[in-house]
Amino acid sequence: MKRTIVLALVLFLGTLSVGAQNLGNIQRGQRGYSPPPRQLDAGEPEKPDVNKMSIEKATLYKELLGIDVFEKEVLRTYLKDYYRARVDIDYNPDLKFEDKQKQINIEQKKFEKALKEVFTEDQIEQILIEEQFGNRAEEKKKEAKEAKKKKRNKKNKKG
């Protein structure tokens, strides 16, 4: 009988000790804390989507040049091929800067040659200038932002 009482007392005190030490549970300082997400390695940057880029640019050139749907689709395929080659060159870590420039110039000449099959010289010139400098796309975005701001200002003045 004494042994069972002593054994029960030891078990009772042992469970109290484990409960007091909070073993197996979240520690007090860790309650409600979630660690920050791990940083990913700074490896290669993500390549842009050439399909999306070619569709956006073809739509822009359709508005800019006033071309029909067929010419837009032809231009889109040419742009897609050009962008794919351009991205492959730009994101190739084995190539040096000079080699990249040479290959980009070769791809630009191929692109220009392909455009000559369908478009006029003026249209080709506008496309190449836009591809090189990209001013019209930025101007369109700025114009759209300004138009939105004007609409907001009108609504705010009325309300």
Q: What is the mean pLDDT of residues 98-108?
A: 93
Q: Is the pLDDT of residue 136 over 80?
A: no
Domain ranges of the chain: 50-133
Tokens coding 159: 């309300």
User: Residue 159 has what pLDDT?
Assistant: 54
* Per-residue pLDDT at 132: 82
User: Residue 129: is its pLDDT beyond 60?
Assistant: yes
Maximum average pLDDT range among 1-5, 13-17, 27-31, 153-157? 1-5
**pLDDT range class, residue 155, cuts 50, 70, 90:** low
95-98-99 Cα angle (round to 5): 45
66 vs 157, more confident: 66
Q: What is the pLDDT of residues 76-87, one digit of tens each?
A: 999 999 999 999
- pLDDT tens-place string over residues 7-47: 888 888 878 776 666 666 666 665 666 777 777 666 667 88
pLDDT of 140 over the 90 cut: no
Question: How would you label 77-102 residue by residue, b for 16+ Cβ within 10 Å and e otherwise?
Answer: ebbbbbbbbbeebeeeeeeeeeeeee
